[in-house]
Amino acid sequence: MQELKDKMNTMACQYIDSPEFEKHLEKTIQGTINSSVENCFRSYGDIAKNLEKAIQDKMKIDFSQVEIPELTTMVIKIAQAKIAEVLNEQAAQKLGNILSETLAPAPKEITVQEIVDLIIADIQENGDVEADHATVKIETSDYGVDLKIWKGETTRKSYSSYSSDTKLSPDVDLYIHKDSKKIRIIRNLDERRTFGTCIYGYEAKLYLMFCAGTIVTDILECDADDLNTSIREYD
C-alpha cells in the first residue's frame, strides 16, 4: 500500500511539473474569472460586493488531501496574473464607459420627446417594467409646466369590489419654468439608483440638465398625445 501511495505521489509531481498541467490549469482559471466578472457586471450597483463574492467562491481550493505544496504556489501565481489581466481589460473598459456616459456634459437644448426617449431607453436596457408603453402628462400652470412620465400606466388596477384602483406617482416629475423653459424642480428621484453618494442612469442625466440650465425647447407647444411612448419594439 505504501508503495502504491509513493508511486501515485511521484506521478502527481511529474504531472504537475509538466507544461500540460500548467496550461490546463491556466485555461480553467481564465474561464472561471471571466465568468465571475461577467456575472458581477450584470448589476453595476453591486459590482464590488458581487465581484468579491464570485471570485472568492470560485477560488476555494481544498488542500487538505494534497501532499504537494507546490500546487498552492502555482495556483496563486496563475490566478493573480489572470485576475489582473481580466480586470485591466474588462473592468477598466466597463467602468470607463459608465463614467464617460455619466460625466458627459448636459445638452444646451432638448425636446420633450428626447426626454421621453431617455426614459424608454433606460426601461428597455434594464427591463424593469412589463408595460407596452409609457404614459406622459403635460400640465400647464401660470408660471410653469409639469412634465410627468410613468413607466407604464398611471394606476394599479384593483380586482376587489371593496377597493378602487390605486393612483401611482410618476416615475419622472419635472417642473419647467414657463419663461426660461429650464428645469427648475426634479421630483421623485429613485433612491434605488444611487451609487455611493451619486445618482446614475437617467436621473443623473436629468440632474445634470437641471444644473446646466438645459432648455426644453418645445415644452409650451408639445402635445403629449403626439409623443412616441412605445416601449416594446414590434417587427
Nearest to 151 by CA among 183, 182, 123, 187: 123
CA angle 191–169–47, rounded 5-degree value:
25
Question: Does residue 96 share a domain with residue 119?
Answer: no
Which residue segment(s) compose the domain that 116 sits in? 109-226
The three-state secondary structure class of 191 is: helix
What pLDDT sits at residue 196? 41
Q: What amino acid occupies position 54?
A: A
Question: Does residue 63 share a domain with residue 118?
Answer: no
What pLDDT sits at residue 42? 56
Do β-strands 183-187 and 172-177 pair in parallel, antiparallel, or remain unpaired?
antiparallel
Question: Does residue 53 share a domain with residue 74?
Answer: yes
Q: What Cα–Cα distance (Å) separates residue 176 from each residue in 64, 221, 226?
A: 67, 13, 19
Question: Does residue 220 share a domain with residue 113?
Answer: yes
Question: Does residue 124 share a domain with residue 91?
Answer: no
On whether the CB atoms of residues 183 and 209 are closer than 8 A, the answer is yes
End-of-domain residue from the set 58, 73, 102? 102
Q: Is residue 235, in this structure, part of any structural domain at all?
A: no
Q: Is residue 231, in this structure, part of any structural domain at all?
A: no
* Mean pLDDT per 10-residue segment, the chain (235 residues): 65 73 80 71 58 65 54 70 72 68 81 94 77 91 92 76 77 92 79 50 85 93 93 63
Nearest to 125 by CA among 165, 163, 97: 97
Biggest alpha carbon distance in the chain? 96
CA angle 229–230–235, rounded 5-degree value:
155
Question: Does residue 147 share a domain with residue 217?
Answer: yes
Nearest to 204 by CA among 129, 120, 78, 105: 105
Question: Does residue 216 share a domain with residue 113?
Answer: yes
pTM above 0.75, yes or no: no
Structural domain count of the chain? 2
End-of-domain residue from the set 80, 102, 124? 102
